[in-house]
Amino acid sequence: KPHNPMINAGAILVCSLLKSLIKPEMTLAEKFDFTMNYFERLAGGENLGFNNAVFLSEREAADRNYALGFYMREHNCYPDKSNLREIMDFYFQ
């Protein structure tokens, strides 16, 4: 299991944990907003941006990251009932 959140595999795994632990009743969009608001508070109230063009570009050219995601799923790294597509979208955002 990846232990370093500063590399892709570790960051994907952290996203899966955040996605599963942040208020399970929230939608993926609500979890994204919740996470962004939390990170903005950690950054001292600074505005953190989101670039949709970069998100779409990353998602379209993500073969290596999807391979890491599938590999980790095969080795049961994710919480139960995790949705890989949602994990990857959360990671790309």
Amino acid 67: pLDDT:
97
Residue 3 is assigned to a structural domain of this protein: no
What is the total count of domains within the chain?
1
Could you tell me the two tokens for 82?
Answer: 């995790």
Task: Provide the H-helix boundaries in 1-93.
Answer: 8-21, 28-42, 52-60, 63-74, 84-92
pTM: 0.88
Q: What integer pLDDT is reported at residue 87 of this predicted model?
A: 96
pLDDT at 11: 96
Q: What is the pLDDT of residues 82-92, one digit of tens each?
A: 999 999 999 99
Domain range enclosing 24: 8-92
Output the pLDDT for position 2: 82
- CATH (domain of 34): 1.10.1500.10
Rounded Cα–Cα distance for residues 86 and 88 (Å)? 5
Encode pLDDT of 1-49 as tens digits. Answer: 788 899 999 999 999 999 999 988 899 999 999 999 999 999 999 999 9
